[in-house]
Amino acid sequence: MHWLSHRLSVLPNTFLLAWGWQRRVLCVLCGALTALSLPPLEASFVLLLSFPGLVWLLDGALEPGSTWREKLRRGFAIGWMFGVGYFLAGLWWIGAAFLVEADRFAWLMPLAVLAMPLGLALFTGLGVALAALFWSDRFRRVLLLAACLTLADWVRGHVLTGFPWNSFGYGIARFEVLSQTASLVGLYGLSFLAVALASTPALLADVRPLGQRLKAVGSAVFVLCAMAVFGMVRLWQPAPPATDLDIRIVQPAIAQEDKWRPDLRDEIFQTLLDMSEAPLGGAARVGQKRLIVWPESAVPFLLTQEPGALFRIGKALGSSSELVTGAVRSEPGAVGTSYYNSVYVLGSDGTVQGIYDKVRLVPFGEYVPFKPLLETLGITNLAGPLEGFEAGYQPRVLSVSESFSFLPMICYEAIFPGLPGDAAGQPSFLLNVTNDAWFGQTPGPYQHFSQARLRAIETGLPLIRAANTGISAIIDGRGSVVARLGVFETGLIDGRLPQRIGNTLYSITGDLPVLIVSIILVVFASIRQYNRDSRKN
C-alpha cells in the first residue's frame, strides 16, 4: 500500500514542487493539453489531467503566509501562462487567413497568431488571480476555480465586441448527453461544470482521510451522472414532427482565393443557380414550399445593383421557393459609400423581402479598431471592401414562407450564447450563413460548427447552417445533426425544417443564474479567507 501511495503521489508532486522555469513550462503545457479537448480531436479526457495540474500548480505556488499581492501576482502568472498555452494551441489556425492574400497580409501572420493568445490569456490570468486571492487547501477550491474562470470567460465574451470562442464548456460538448445541460445553464454554465468536474481528481492528492477524498470525488461523479441522465431523458423524448417547410442548403465549396476573382464572377453565380435547380434528393418533396439557403457573401457582386441577377434568381426559384443568401450590401452616404455584410430574403419572383445587416463584426477581419492609428502601420481588414464594413443596428427576426421566421446569424455571430432580448421566443429557427474558406482544412471550421450547434441546444431551436466550404447542416433543437456536408465537400442538403422544441430554461433565464452562483462562491471564499486571517491575528 505504501508503494502504491508513493506511485500515486509522483504526478501531483511534479506540479506541487515545480519552481521557476519548470512551473512556467508546466503551466503552458497544461493549457495546450486542455485545447486537445476541442474539435476536431475532441479528446475530452485530457481535461482530467490538465485542470488537476492547474490546481496542483496553484497549491504549490501559494504558500501559507503569502501576502495578497504575492497571491495575485503568482495566480495571474500561472493563469496567464495556462491561457497562452490554451489559446495558442486552440487558435493557431487563424494564421491560415493571412495566407489567402499572402502578398498583403502574410507579414501580419506571426503577430496575429501570437498576439491573440497573449491578449486572450489576460482574461484567464485575471480569473486565476481572483481564485488565488482566496485559495485554500479545502475541497471547495475547485468550485472557486470554476467560478473564477467562468466569470473570466463571461467577461471575455463581452469586453469590447466580445470573443467567447473556445470557452471551456466546449471541451465536453462532443458528448451529446452532457451537452444537453446547456439547455438549462447555457455555455457558461457548461464551462463551470466542465472546470469543476475535471478539477476534482486533484483532490485525491490532498492530505486528508481517504474517505473524505473519495466522498468529494463521488459528489463530482454524482453530478456527472445527473447531467448524463438529464441528457438521455431529453434525447429519448420523441422528436416533434418536422414542419411543412422543406430546406435546401447549397454548399458550393469555392476556394477563398477564387471567390472574388472578376473572371470567375459569372461562373460562381451560375454554379449557385445550377445547384439550386438541381433534382431533389434526401427528404425533399415535389411541389412543396421550399427555402433555399446560400452561404455568407455567396454572390460575388452587389446583388441589388444587378437587376439581371435578381431576375435570374427569380427564374431559378420558380413559384414554390424562396431564397436566403449572404451578400455584400452598399448604401450611399454623405461622406461615402457604406458597406454591410448582409443576409437577404428573396421571394419566388426575385424581389427582396427582408434584409439583415451583420451586427457583430470580426475585429481586423471586417473592420479595424482604432483605424486611423493602425492604418498608418499598414494594418487593414482582411475581408470585404478596403473601407471595411459598417455594423448593423441590431439583431432582427426575418420571415419566410408566411408562417416561419428565423434569427439570422452571420459567420461568427453564431459563437455568442443565447438569443438577443428582442428575439427571444419569436423565431421558428436559427439560420447561420458563413464562409470558413479562409481557414482551409484547419480546426477552425470544426470549432465553429461545434459552437453553432450548441446554440440550438441552448435555445431549443433548430439550426440551418450554410457554409461555403462546410460544415453545412440541418440540426434539431437538441443539437442532433439531421444532415451535414463535410469540409470542402461540394453538394446539397435536402431536408425538412425540424420543429422547435420550445423555450428552454436557459432561453428564459440567460446567464444570470450561473453568474449569481459564481459570484456567491467568490464572496463566500472571501469571507472564509477574512475569518481565517482574523483568527491568525
What is the average per-residue pLDDT within 114-121? 92
Q: What is the mean pLDDT of the chain?
A: 89
The catalytic residues are 296, 358, 411
- The predicted pLDDT at position 13 comes to 87
- The full set of domain ranges for the chain reads 2-236+510-536, 246-500
What the block records as the C-alpha cell of 283 is: 427528404
Residue 188: predicted pLDDT: 98
Q: What pLDDT shows up at residue 424?
A: 52
Confidence of residue 1 (pLDDT cuts 50, 70, 90): very low
Residue 63: its pLDDT value, please? 82
Once rounded to an integer, what is the mean pLDDT over residues 116-134?
96
Confidence of residue 113 (pLDDT cuts 50, 70, 90): confident
Helix (H, G, I), strand (E, B) or coil at 536: helix
pLDDT at 4: 41
The CATH class of the 246-500 domain is: alpha beta
| Position 66 pLDDT exceeds 70 | yes
* Model confidence at 376: pLDDT above 60: no
- Phi, psi angle pair for 124, to nearest 5°: -65, -40
Give residue 365's pLDDT: 67
Are the C-beta atoms of 253 and 468 separated by less than 8 Å? yes
More confident of the two residues 227 and 206: 227
Flag whether pLDDT at 510 surpasses 50.
yes
Amino acid (one-letter) located at 294: W
Q: What confidence score (pLDDT) does residue 380 get? A: 57
For the cut 50, the answer to whether the pLDDT of residue 118 exceeds it is yes
Q: What is the pLDDT of residue 193?
A: 98
Maximum Cα interatomic distance, the chain, rounded to a whole number of Å: 83
CB-neighbour burial class of residue 431 (10 A; exposed 0-12, middle 13-18, buried 19+): buried
In this prediction, residues 134-160 reach a mean pLDDT of 94
362 or 34: which leads in pLDDT:
34
Whether residue 175 is predicted with pLDDT greater than 80 in this model: the reply is yes
- Is the pLDDT reported for residue 329 higher than 80? yes
Asked if the model's pLDDT at residue 279 lies above 90, the reply is no
DSSP-derived secondary structure letter, 295:
-
**Low-confidence winner among 39-43, 237-241, 286-290, 450-454 (lowest mean pLDDT):** 286-290
| Phi, psi dihedrals of residue 180, rounded to the nearest 5° | -65, -20
Strand partners, 227: none
Kindly indicate the confidence band of residue 383, based on its pLDDT and cuts at 50, 70 and 90: low
Please give the residue that has the higher pLDDT: either 245 or 530. 245
Q: How far apart are CA 344 and CA 294, in angstroms?
A: 10
pLDDT at position 92 is 93
**Separation of alpha carbons 132 and 144, rounded Å:** 9
Question: Could you report the per-residue pLDDT of 81-100, keeping only the tens digit for each?
Answer: 999 999 999 999 988 877 77
**What is the Cα–Cα distance from 404 to 57, expressed in whole angstroms?**
53
pLDDT at 370: 55
The neighbour count for residue 315, using CB atoms within 10 Å, is 12
Q: Does position 394 have pLDDT exceeding 70, yes or no?
A: yes
Residue 7 has pLDDT above 70, yes or no: no
User: What pLDDT is stored for residue 420 in this prediction?
Assistant: 74
**430, pLDDT greater than 60:** yes
Helices 182-199 and 512-536: angle between axes, nearest 10 degrees: 30
In the numeric block, which cell numbers belong to residue 262? 472578376
pLDDT score of 10 = 80
Higher pLDDT, 96 or 487: 487
Query: 393 vs 65, which has greater pLDDT?
Result: 393
pTM of the predicted protein model: 0.93
The pLDDT of residue 505 is 95
**pLDDT of the residue at 386:** 55
CA dist 74 to 12, 23, 34, Å?
19, 11, 21
